[in-house]
Amino acid sequence: MNSIPPLTMIVPEMTFAELAENFALFDDWDDRYRYLIDLGRKLPQLPDTLKSAANKVRGCMSQVWMVPGHPVGEPGKFAFAADSDAHIVKGLIAVLGILFSGQSPEAIAAVDTDAAFRALGLDQHISPSRRNGLVSMVEKIKGYAKA
């Protein structure tokens, strides 16, 4: 029998307001992209055994895998573990972790992700294909939280 290593959920290191302040510190989008990539590098590792078709997020050009869960000791709150083969997408996963991890299902349902990404300026600076993938990830998160 295959043993799956313990899964570490994404735990935000900052609030969304702090993230927006950090984004505002950078003068150009190259620096913001580097910051986004750095956020993605800090994500917990998703074991290869969980990078399966069952955990794959459909609608993303990149490979994205997502597994739902809960923060340790908080079964009423949502968290997730995720990974991607694309650096910027991993950064977007980190942003979604800041928005959604540790929230109740009701709070997750109320999150306006379009407004959040406008606040960061990402709505104007990610490609249409990445935007579609982002929508797919948000739908997956909201579906997991509702279940």
115 a catalytic residue: no
Could you tell me the two tokens for 36? Answer: 């986004």
Alpha-helical runs (H) found in the chain:
16-24, 29-41, 87-100, 105-110, 113-120, 122-125, 128-146
Phi-psi category of 59—alpha, beta or left, where left has phi over 0 and alpha has psi -120 to 50? left
Could you tell me the two tokens for 11? Answer: 């735990």
* Active-site pick, 46, 57, 60, 86: 60
> Mind telling me the catalytic residues?
60
